[in-house]
Structure 1
Amino acid sequence: MAQQIPSNLGLLLIIGTLAMFIMALSIIVFAVLYQQKMRRKKQEMVQLELNYKNEMVQATLDAKEIEQRRIAIELHDDIGSSLTALKLSFVSLPIDEEERQLLNEGVQITIGKVRSLSNRLLPSVLEELGLVPAVKSLVNTLAQQIPNVHFSVIAVNDPKHESQTREVSLAVYRILQELINNILKYAKATVIQLTLEQNEDGIQITLIDNGTGFVPTKEDKLKSQSLGLKNIESRSQQVGAQIDYELQNPGTKVTLLWKPKTEI
């Protein structure tokens, strides 16, 4: 009997050690699984927050487009018609021909400005003819309005491969508007070169100016006064476009690239 005690103790030690090992392994497995679960929860929360922000951005941009459309229609239908009627009424005014001519010219200039503003708010060419004709129209209008800046545009369109939706076309058009507006306001450029290519691979726009040169940082995009940069960033994220800035000597080169999503 005395000889069996050490053997039993050894067996108990082995069992106890095995039990502790299993317990320790269980704790480790539980900790790993818990960490994975918490990591998945965190990723889900981040994704939910990102989706919410994207939805808010989309809602804001949609509301802005609706309001711009409303204002553009009022400018065209109400104010434009009123100015045209005013111009026609000059015929019956008891004034000499020279004064009547000056009034006509003044009202005609105002009508032109109203039409230009209406078209910037609601690019009808974009909806009717597509992105490339709309961009050409935008650049031609700016070239007439700002004679001290030389604009050049090369636009290539493959109508067989117009893979973008109206949403993408509008976002790209608005981004381009904002980029050109920033150049005209801040860069002191005298030359703006635009190249646009649209084909089965997507849309690529290259915008080069000879101004002071500017590459926005993350801090620049977050500044409250940088509304233009925020709009560019929001619209590019909205449709999944990529924008790169590169300093030139002189000026800045901006490249916008949008590719259609490939279905899996």
Structure 2
Amino acid sequence: MFTSESEIILTIIVSTILLLLFSGAIIYFLFKYQRKRYFHQKEMLELKESFSKILLNSKIQIQEQTLDHISKELHSNIGQLASLININLSEILHNPNKESILETKVLTKSLISELKSISTALNTDYIMKIGFEKALKNELNRVSKIMKYPVNFKVLGNSFSIGPEREIILFRLCQEVINNIIQYAQASKIDIVLEYNNDSIKLVIEDNGVGFDTDLARENRDKNSSTGLLNISKRAKVINAKVNIVSKLNFGTKVFLLISR
């Protein structure tokens, strides 16, 4: 009888110890899991905040460059139209005639149209509303009117959105490439192909201008911290885009952009 009771007590003690150990192990693993989850969430939050800062900085830098280009455009194109209107008005005051009045009317209409186009190009909300593809098409139409040479735009595949934030940066990057062509390429034609695939977007921007030495441009960029054409790759990384720039002196330039969905 005594032995039986001892065995029962021993069994209870052992069972209790095993239960406590098992419970302790469960609590320990739960604690480890919660701790790991907490640090994972914290890390993800920090990465998200870091990405948001990089995204914001990229948007600000690109917008600054866009504003700089627009200011130059206002000075040249808008300023020229305004000067012509002023000259015509002075002539009309001294010698009113139907021809001068009609010419002034046409110039004024062109001025209003140009101001509207520039305003649209700067309006981020409008670009987000109409989407990247249409915004790029509008920008190319505007460039074609200014430069007086063909800007060919071809779209392949079924279009889809990669998100408004990424599309804005992609649009500003395209503006930067096009602005570089206008300022430096001395081109007589621009060809752009936008291709939608299942999981990515491929964009090719090609001109038939004077081209440039990519190795020299990269070297100058590294030395002078330049924000020129080759620096586009740095910002493209923010939207998970890969950039490849192929150029040769007197043979034009091709810019390849590949954006994951």
TM-score of the alignment, normalized to the shorter chain, above 0.5: yes
Amino acid at match of 1:111: I
**Sequence identity percentage:** 26
Amino acid at match of 1:199: N
Q: Is the alpha carbon distance of 1:115 and 1:132 closer, same or farther for their aligned partners in structure 2, counting shifts above 3 Å? A: same
Query: Could you tell me which residue of structure 1 aligns to residue 188 of structure 2?
Result: 190
The answer (yes or no) to whether the contact 1:155–1:197 under 8 Å persists in 2 is yes
The answer (yes or no) to whether the contact 2:152–2:192 under 8 Å persists in 1 is yes
Deviations 1:2-55 (A, max 9, x none): xxxxxxxxxxxxxxxxxxxxxxxxxxxxxxxxxxxxxxxxxxxxxx99x85x65
Q: Which TM-score applies when normalising by structure 1?
A: 0.58
Q: Is the alpha carbon distance of 1:158 and 1:61 closer, same or farther for their aligned partners in structure 2, counting shifts above 3 Å? A: same
Q: CA deviation at 1:255?
A: 0.4
Q: CA deviation at 1:221?
A: 3.4
The answer (yes or no) to whether the contact 1:175–1:231 under 8 Å persists in 2 is no
- Provide the alpha-carbon RMSD of the alignment: 3.7
Distance (Å, rounded) in 2 between the aligned partners of 1:58 and 1:177? 17
Amino acid at match of 2:109: Q
Deviations 1:153-188 (A, max 9, x none): 1112514xx251111211111111111111121111
Q: Which moved more, 1:121-130 or 1:223-232?
A: 223-232
Distance (Å, rounded) in 2 between the aligned partners of 1:111 and 1:247? 37
Q: Is the alpha carbon distance of 1:205 and 1:61 closer, same or farther for their aligned partners in structure 2, counting shifts above 3 Å? A: same
- Whether 1:200 aligns to 2:198 is yes
Amino acid at match of 1:130: G
Q: Is the alpha carbon distance of 1:100 and 1:189 closer, same or farther for their aligned partners in structure 2, counting shifts above 3 Å? A: closer
The answer (yes or no) to whether the contact 1:221–1:229 under 8 Å persists in 2 is no
Query: Could you tell me which residue of structure 2 aligns to residue 180 of structure 1?
Result: 178
Q: Give matches, 1:12-31, under 5 Å.
A: none
Distance (Å, rounded) in 1 between the aligned partners of 2:255 and 2:228? 15
Q: CA deviation at 1:236?
A: 0.6
Amino acid at match of 2:155: A
Amino acid at match of 1:209: D
SS at match of 1:227: coil
Q: Is the alpha carbon distance of 1:108 and 1:123 closer, same or farther for their aligned partners in structure 2, counting shifts above 3 Å? A: farther
SS at match of 2:120: helix
Distance (Å, rounded) in 2 between the aligned partners of 1:65 and 1:206? 20
Deviations 1:61-95 (A, max 9, x none): 444688889xx9xx9xxxxxxx9xxxxxx9xx996
Query: Could you tell me which residue of structure 2 aligns to residue 165 of structure 1?
Result: 163
Q: How many residues align?
A: 189
Deviations 1:119-145 (A, max 9, x none): 221266632332222222222221122
Amino acid at match of 1:173: F
The answer (yes or no) to whether the contact 2:59–2:169 under 8 Å persists in 1 is no
Distance (Å, rounded) in 1 between the aligned partners of 2:242 and 2:62? 22
Q: CA deviation at 1:114?
A: 0.9
Query: Could you tell me which residue of structure 1 aligns to residue 111 of structure 2?
Result: 110
Query: Could you tell me which residue of structure 2 aligns to residue 86 of structure 1?
Result: none
The answer (yes or no) to whether the contact 2:218–2:230 under 8 Å persists in 1 is no
Distance (Å, rounded) in 2 between the aligned partners of 1:123 and 1:204? 23
Amino acid at match of 2:57: T
Amino acid at match of 1:129: I
Q: CA deviation at 1:231?
A: 6.2
Query: Could you tell me which residue of structure 2 aligns to residue 146 of structure 1?
Result: 147
Q: Is the alpha carbon distance of 1:113 and 1:228 closer, same or farther for their aligned partners in structure 2, counting shifts above 3 Å? A: farther
Amino acid at match of 1:175: L
Q: Give matches, 1:1-264, under 5 Å.
A: 56-63=53-60, 97-122=98-123, 126-147=127-148, 149-159=149-159, 162-214=160-212, 215=214, 217-222=217-222, 226-229=226-229, 232-248=232-248, 250-260=251-261
Distance (Å, rounded) in 2 between the aligned partners of 1:150 and 1:175? 21
The answer (yes or no) to whether the contact 1:123–1:134 under 8 Å persists in 2 is no
Distance (Å, rounded) in 1 between the aligned partners of 2:233 and 2:246? 16
Q: Which TM-score applies when normalising by structure 2?
A: 0.59
The answer (yes or no) to whether the contact 1:163–1:200 under 8 Å persists in 2 is no
Q: Which runs of 5+ in 1 are unaligned?
A: 1-47, 76-82, 84-89
Amino acid at match of 1:194: I
Q: Is the alpha carbon distance of 1:55 and 1:231 closer, same or farther for their aligned partners in structure 2, counting shifts above 3 Å? A: farther
